[in-house]
């Protein structure tokens, strides 16, 4: 039997375009001699559909698309993911389903059993889990154990569930396993994914065909990386990462095919962050955000600092140099090298800039506030006014010319509230908001791997908001290499203050940083969506109360 894996990039709710891609893959698979073509989880409607699933019209359109796909399955079979209605009054109204289509009809339907409700996942909000129907499907005389993403995932020592679908299916003596998935990218996730799939294939002694989504859906980035493993758990082929791909495999050759040479790590270590993968993920995230929403051009504030430089370079790579405008908005405190560094960056990229000094607007605002500020010394208020002037200017240009504003804040700043609401924290999408400052520097060096794109002076100079004389980030924050380590232990690892202090950090510093994180939740609640590249990003996957007293 020949099996095709179709790793495609779809858009949530775009049933016509999604259907066209699916039918095109079915036609290609048939013409190239495949017996079965397999698509990812919920591919018909796109993943994650979220509260669109509460609309009857949305579900009906998905059902119509599934029927049209079934009509195309003559001389070939297909497996597609889509929501399925629950006919029983008790429980949720929908199942997360895999439809097995052949002979022009829906041959059988497999419902997802294990519904994740952690991090960015909230499937039990919408779907009823499969409780007691575990049946293999049969195609070309081969018995297939078909599972959906999480159904094959819960095989680690710290188990989250009490029921395991493959344990039910393996007693039926299947010839192979197929798992359709929507597994989003985060650095280190590919390590755990390969470990889980290796263990599943080797434990059950069956070849495994795994197909994953690719493409970005707002903050979630799906990296593809679909793969085939033999019955010993060795990977015999990986599809491309961060791009669409299509491959056909002969089941009879899988167990004898040479294994791909890869290191099966026992666990992810933070020092092993794959900057190249993050780079590709962010390019895909920006590109899909614009293309799927029909946006054409981007704008951002260009300060001459590392954050805006990296975002500028990423945007130019993702969208094209003629689609990105960098706006210099020097203040009275801006250094000459900040302006010259930003202009050199723009020259290296071949992209456009515009310069609008903010001092005239700042003077006018201070004059308007003269009475209200009487008797009060200058403080952070005046700094925030300058940041908000920049936000107003950028949004004005965005409105007038149809640009989408790219936010340039990093995760270190967002974590401790080192930013101004309605100023430098505004934007349509946060490009590097899930990268700590130390990772931003690593990404900048990666961008410069072949030639100097980001001027060396930007990488070498001390970070500064330049909103008061001789200002440096280190005036308000610990050095980033220390700050980022403590933030990582608290945010990604979820360690408490005593546990972090036990790793050798100063107790007062730890308490101060954790307090800043928790008391600035209200700021993060109002910021743009953040492209997720870490295991615990701000936004959908990290839900914290704004009003709370823990460590604050």
Handedness of CA 471, 476, 478, 484 (dihedral sign): negative
Locate CATH 3.60.110.10 in the chain: 2-268
pLDDT at 473: 66
Q: Would you state the pLDDT for residue 268?
A: 45
Which homologous superfamily is 2-268 in?
Carbon-nitrogen hydrolase (3.60.110.10)
The answer, yes or no, to whether residue 158 has pLDDT greater than 80, is no
Which residues have C-beta within 8 Å of that of residue 464, sequence separation ≥ 6? Answer: 305, 471, 472, 473
Tell me: pLDDT of 101 over 90: yes
Asked if 520 and 209 count as a contact pair (C-beta separation under 8 A), the reply is no
Look-up: residue for tokens 């290296």? 348
Residue 451: the pLDDT is 96
Contact 187, 156 (CB under 8 A): no
pTM, rounded to two decimals: 0.94
pLDDT at 191: 87
* Higher pLDDT pick, 446 / 552: 446
At 369, the pLDDT band (50, 70, 90 cuts) reads very high
| Residue 162: predicted pLDDT | 83
Q: What is the mean pLDDT of residues 273-283?
A: 95
Closest CA to 6 of 80, 96, 72: 80
CA distance 116 to 514: 28
The whole-number pLDDT of residue 466 equals 63
Residues marked as catalytic? 41, 112, 149
In the chain, the percentage of residues whose pLDDT exceeds 90 is 88
Per CATH, the homologous superfamily of domain 275-476+520-524 is: HUPs (3.40.50.620)
Check if the beta carbon of residue 408 is closer than 8 Å to that of residue 304: no
Burial of 541 (0-12, 13-18, 19+ CB in 10 A): buried
Percent of residues, the chain, with pLDDT higher than 70: 95
Please give the span between the terminal C-alpha atoms of the chain, in angstroms, as a whole number: 60
pLDDT above 90 for 8: yes
And the tokens for 174? 């299947």
Per residue in 289-339, pLDDT tens? 999 999 999 999 999 999 999 999 999 999 999 999 999 999 987 777 889
CB-based contact 309:444 (threshold 8 Å)? yes
Closest CA to 218 of 395, 417, 48, 413: 48
Q: In this predicted structure, what is the pLDDT of residue 255?
A: 84
Q: DSSP string covering 272-318, please?
A: G--HHHHHHHHHHHHHHHHHHHT--EEEEE--SSHHHHHHHHHHHHH
Q: What is the pLDDT of residues 455-470, one digit of tens each?
A: 999 999 887 766 667 6
Tell me the pLDDT tens digit for each residue of 77-93.
999 999 999 999 999 99
Q: What is the DSSP letter of 150?
A: G
Q: Are 130 and 164 in contact (CB under 8 A)?
A: no
Q: Do residues 284 and 533 touch, judged by C-beta distance below 8 A?
A: no
Q: What is the pLDDT of residue 262?
A: 58
pLDDT of residue 270: 54
Examine the pLDDT at 76 and tell me if it is beyond 60: yes
The answer to whether 46 and 82 have CB atoms below 8 angstroms apart is: no
Residue 338 confidence (pLDDT)? 86
Take residue 409 and report the two structure tokens written for it: 């804040």
Confidence band of 471 (pLDDT split at 50, 70, 90): low
Residues of the chain with CATH 3.40.50.620: 275-476+520-524
CA–CA separation, 127 and 54 (whole Å): 11
Pairwise CA distance, residues 177 & 145, whole Å = 5
pLDDT in tens, 382-425: 999 999 999 999 999 999 999 999 999 999 999 999 999 999 99
Distances (CA, A) of 90 to 37, 63, 94, 400: 34, 21, 11, 52
Q: What mean pLDDT do residues 180-207 have?
A: 94
Mean pLDDT on 106-123: 96
- Mean pLDDT, to the nearest integer, of 5-24? 98
**Is the distance from CB of 8 to CB of 29 less than 8 angstroms?**
no
Tell me the C-alpha distance between 122 and 448, whole Å: 39
């Amino acid at each position: 039997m020949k099996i095709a894996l179709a790793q495609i990039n779809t858009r949530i709710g775009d049933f016509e375009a999604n259907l066209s891609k699916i039918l095109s893959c079915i036609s290609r698979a048939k013409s190239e001699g495949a017996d079965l073509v397999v698509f990812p989880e919920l591919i018909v409607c796109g993943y994650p559909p979220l509260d669109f699933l509460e609309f009857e019209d949305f579900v009906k359109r998905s059902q119509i698309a599934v029927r049209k796909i079934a009509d195309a399955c003559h001389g070939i079979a297909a497996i597609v993911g889509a929501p399925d209605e629950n006919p029983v009054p008790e429980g949720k109204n929908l199942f997360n389903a895999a439809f097995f289509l052949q002979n022009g009809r829906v041959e059988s339907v497999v419902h997802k059993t294990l519904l994740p409700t952690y991090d960015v996942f909230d499937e039990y909000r919408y779907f009823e889990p499969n409780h007691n129907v575990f049946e293999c499907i049969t195609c070309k005389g081969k018995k297939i154990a078909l599972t959906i993403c999480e159904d094959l995932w819960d095989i680690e020592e710290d188990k989250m569930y009490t029921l395991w679908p493959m344990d039910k299916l393996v007693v039926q003596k299947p010839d192979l396993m197929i798992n359709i998935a929507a597994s989003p990218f985060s650095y280190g996730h590919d390590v755990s994914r390969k470990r889980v799939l290796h263990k599943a294939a080797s434990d059950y002694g069956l070849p495994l065909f795994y197909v994953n989504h690719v493409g970005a859906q707002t903050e979630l980035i799906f990296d593809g990386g679909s793969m085939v493993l033999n019955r010993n758990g060795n990977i015999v082929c990986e599809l491309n990462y961060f791009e669409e791909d299509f491959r056909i495999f002969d089941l009879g050759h899988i167990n004898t095919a040479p294994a791909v040479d890869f290191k099966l790590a026992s666990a992810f270590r933070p020092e092993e962050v794959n900057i190249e993968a993050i780079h590709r993920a962010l390019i895909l995230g920006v590109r899909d955000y614009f293309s799927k929403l029909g946006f054409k051009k981007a704008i951002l504030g260009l300060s001459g600092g590392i954050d805006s430089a990296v975002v500028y370079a990423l945007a130019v790579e993702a969208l094209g140099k003629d689609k990105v405008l960098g706006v210099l908005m020097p203040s009275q405190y801006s250094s000459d090298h900040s302006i010259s560094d930003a202009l050199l960056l723009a020259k290296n990229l071949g992209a456009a800039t515009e310069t609008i000094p903010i001092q005239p607007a700042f003077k006018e605002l201070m004059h308007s506030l003269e009475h209200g500020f009487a008797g009060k010394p200058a403080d952070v208020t005046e700094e925030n006014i300058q940041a908000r002037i920049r936000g107003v200017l950028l949004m004005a240009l965005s409105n007038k010319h149809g640009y989408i504003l790219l936010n340039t804040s990093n995760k270190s700043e967002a974590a401790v509230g080192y930013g101004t609401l309605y100023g430098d924290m505004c934007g349509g999408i946060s490009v590097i908001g899930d990268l700590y400052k130390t990772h931003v520097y690593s990404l900048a060096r990666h961008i410069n791997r072949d030639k100097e794109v980001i001027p060396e002076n930007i990488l070498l100079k001390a970070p500064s908001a330049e909103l008061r004389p001789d200002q440096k980030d280190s005036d308000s924050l610990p050095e980033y290499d220390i700050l980022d380590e403590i933030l990582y232990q608290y945010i990604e690892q979820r360690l408490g203050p005593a546990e972090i202090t036990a790793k050798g950090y100063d107790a007062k510093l730890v308490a101060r940083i954790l307090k800043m994180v928790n008391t600035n939740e209200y700021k993060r609640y109002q910021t743009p969506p953040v492209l997720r590249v870490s295991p615990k990003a701000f936004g959908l996957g990290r839900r914290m109360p704004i009003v709370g007293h823990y460590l604050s």
